[in-house]
């Protein structure tokens, strides 16, 4: 007879460390991060990972090598204008949790005299195909690959990602970071968006890691805990995501 001894794994302690975040408004790559990371002090992990990653998972990895099913569409999409969010066109959608977090963040920004205009949100596989084709026609395949994901490989299909601009600014995406300089809105997001669960997917000087150029307008909702870990790490968010299983 074999006797098995069962060990009870301790749960990680709640995160309690605070850090001071500072940024050079003109050059995002100079953002200074604390040397501390938001990693629980108790590193015990389950022997078997029961967390199955699906397209609905907030931490699912979507990049040039990891895509989504062509037919994937989130089941909880809501209209942003229905939550009082300013959008450039009618019909922009996001998943409910992300949309509610966005509404709360925008409400806080407005108390400080800052406003955003949503330029893009959820895109279906077919919509991304149209967008990617447009960029390829304008820039050619090589240049387009640095600014637009092929269909099935875009974070926009997750329903948790948005492109933002400034209300009344006719320069579109670049309005959030005009002439290579951070707007007050971008600076606020850089320092506070993680508190609402949002991260900027493609930072400056990380194209060799992400495959995409600097996109200060492209933000993804991943939840407060993960967003905070990403913000403190200084690494591309993709390093903290997991591929589908």
For residues 146 and 91, the answer to whether their CB atoms sit within 8 Å is no
Burial (0-12, 13-18, 19+ Cβ within 10 Å), 160: buried
Report residue 131's pLDDT band, with 50, 70 and 90 as the boundaries: very high
Model confidence pLDDT, tens digit, residues 36-50:
333 333 334 444 344
| pLDDT score recorded for residue 172 | 77
What is the rounded average pLDDT of the residues 60-87?
97
| Count of domains for the chain | 1
pLDDT > 90 fraction of the chain, expressed in percent and rounded: 73
Model confidence pLDDT, tens digit, residues 5-35:
433 434 434 433 333 343 443 333 333 333 3
Model confidence pLDDT, tens digit, residues 136-152:
999 999 999 999 999 99
| 116 Cβ neighbours under 8 A, 6+ residues apart | 86, 106, 109, 164, 165, 166, 167, 176, 185
State yes or no: pLDDT of 115 exceeds 60: yes
Q: Is 88 domain-assigned?
A: yes
Q: Is 59 domain-assigned?
A: no
State yes or no: pLDDT of 56 exceeds 60: yes
Q: Is 230 domain-assigned?
A: yes
State yes or no: pLDDT of 92 exceeds 60: yes
> Any bridge partners for residue 164, and if so which?
118
3 state SS of 16 = coil
**What mean pLDDT is reported for the chain?**
83
Q: Is 58 domain-assigned?
A: no
Q: Is 13 domain-assigned?
A: no
Q: Is 31 domain-assigned?
A: no
35 φ/ψ sector (left φ>0, alpha ψ -120 to 50, else beta)? alpha
| pLDDT score recorded for residue 64 | 96
Count of beta carbons in the 10 Å neighbourhood of residue 53: 16
pTM reported for the whole predicted model? 0.79
3 state SS of 78 = strand
Per residue, the 3-state secondary structure of 154-203, as one string, reads: CHHHHCCEEEEECCCCCCHHHHHCHHHCCCHHHHHHHHHHHHHCEEECCC
Token pair belonging to 21: 């975040």
What is the rounded average pLDDT of the residues 232-239?
93
Domain carrying residue 141: 65-240
Q: Is 205 domain-assigned?
A: yes
What are the b/e assignments for 9-22, b being 16+ CB within 10 Å? eeeeeeeeeeeeee
CATH number for the domain spanning 160: value is 3.30.1380.10
| pLDDT score recorded for residue 10 | 40
Report residue 222's pLDDT band, with 50, 70 and 90 as the boundaries: very high
Q: Is 54 domain-assigned?
A: no
For residues 27 and 117, the answer to whether their CB atoms sit within 8 Å is no
* Comparison of pLDDT for 97 and 10, the residue scoring more: 97
Model confidence pLDDT, tens digit, residues 158-200:
999 999 999 887 677 888 999 889 999 999 999 999 999 999 9
Q: What are phi and psi of 210, to 5 degrees?
A: -100, -25
């Amino acid at each position: 007879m074999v006797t098995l001894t069962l060990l009870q794994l301790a749960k990680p302690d709640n995160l309690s460390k605070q850090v001071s975040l500072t940024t050079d408004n003109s050059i995002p790559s100079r953002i200074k991060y604390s040397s501390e990371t938001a990693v629980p002090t108790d590193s015990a992990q389950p022997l078997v990972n029961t967390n199955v990653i699906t397209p609905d998972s907030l931490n699912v990895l979507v990049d040039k090598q990891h895509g989504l099913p062509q037919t994937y569409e989130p089941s909880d999409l809501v209209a942003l204008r229905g939550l009082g969010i300013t959008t450039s066109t009618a019909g922009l959608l996001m998943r409910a949790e992300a949309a509610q977090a966005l509404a709360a963040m925008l409400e806080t920004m407005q108390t400080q005299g800052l406003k955003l205009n949503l330029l893009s949100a959820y895109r279906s596989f077919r919509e991304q195909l149209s967008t990617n084709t447009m960029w390829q026609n304008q820039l050619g395949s090589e240049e387009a690959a640095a600014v637009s994901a092929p269909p099935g490989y875009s974070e926009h299909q997750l329903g948790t990602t948005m492109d933002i601009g400034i209300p009344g600014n006719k320069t579109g995406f670049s309005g959030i970071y005009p002439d290579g300089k951070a707007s007050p809105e971008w600076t606020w997001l850089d320092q506070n968006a993680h508190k609402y669960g949002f991260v900027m997917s493609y930072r400056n000087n990380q194209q060799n890691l992400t495959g995409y150029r600097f996109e200060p307008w492209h933000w993804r909702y991943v939840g407060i805990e993960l967003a905070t870990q990403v913000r403190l790490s200084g690494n591309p968010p993709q390093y903290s995501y997991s591929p589908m299983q």
